[in-house]
Amino acid sequence: MTERQPARGRADESRRGSLGTRAPVIGLIGPIGCGKSTVAGWLAERGAAIIDADRLTRDVMAPGAPVTESILARFGGEYRRPDGSLDRSALGRLVFAYPEGLAELESIVHPAVAHLEREAIRAADRLRPVAIVLEAIKLVEAGHAPWCDEVWLVVCGQAAQLARLIGRGMDESDARQRIAAQAASLPAWRAAATRTLNTDGDPQAVKGAVAAALEDVLARRG
């Protein structure tokens, strides 16, 4: 269920996050629909503080926020809903079919989210959790993997991934587009990961493997 990556040299064996936290910081990455939020929930049950980068992204993309206005200025007012919020679904369909557009969108959003992530990690550490989990699909691309003591890659089979997305109400063509768009990121994610967790199979067995992985992180942290 879980696989710890082989050591890649002395630097990886002594890896420590760069934010100076008391609690170990675990970056949680992986393709959409593979179970990152489920894994995060299990870690929360064991005393970890969870920081959801997607929620922070929604915060910086609130109606009238500077990031929102910058996005609309770049991509067009047709992506503004009547209430002033971004039509994230329509914008997502555009950028996932247009890699250059996705890069431009991320160049607007990532710096603002990074600021909130650092603040959230430091605030969480003051509460003395057993660990701090940063659930962030773009952790590697944004250059934040070095913040983390470990990076966990959550994966599953493509059939299960597609079924989960459709089960959430996503249109099948949109789901396939997003799966295909993220496939290009997998090599970089695998290279950055210190552990890989496969969420196929019995959920209780996967949950037990996640608990064991956390205990190993805590033991290594000392």
What pLDDT shows up at residue 9? 38
User: Does residue 5 carry a pLDDT above 80?
Assistant: no
User: Does residue 11 carry a pLDDT above 90?
Assistant: no
User: Does residue 10 carry a pLDDT above 60?
Assistant: no
Tell me the pTM: 0.83
Q: Which residue has the higher pLDDT, 3 or 87?
A: 87
Nearest Cα neighbor of 180 from 123, 92, 97, 106 is 97
Paired tokens of 25: 């910081």
What pLDDT shows up at residue 177? 86
* The dihedral sign for the CA sequence 101, 103, 107, 109: positive
Nearest Cα neighbor of 144 from 123, 103, 114, 116 is 114
What are the two backbone dihedrals, phi and then psi, of residue 154, each rounded to the nearest 5 degrees? -100, 120
List CB contacts of 41: < 8 A, sequence separation 6 or more: 50
Q: Are strands 195-198 and 2-4 parallel, antiparallel or unpaired?
A: antiparallel
Residue 14's alpha-carbon distances to 78, 150, 194, in angstroms, are 49, 11, 12
- Please name each of the domains of the chain with its CATH number: 2-221 (3.40.50.300)
Nearest Cα neighbor of 109 from 57, 59, 31, 167 is 57
Inter-axis angle of helices 88-96 and 99-125, to 10 degrees? 120
Mean pLDDT of the chain: 90
Structure confidence by residue, pLDDT tens digits, 27-44: 999 999 999 999 999 999
Structure confidence by residue, pLDDT tens digits, 61-101: 999 999 999 999 999 999 999 999 999 889 988 887 888 88
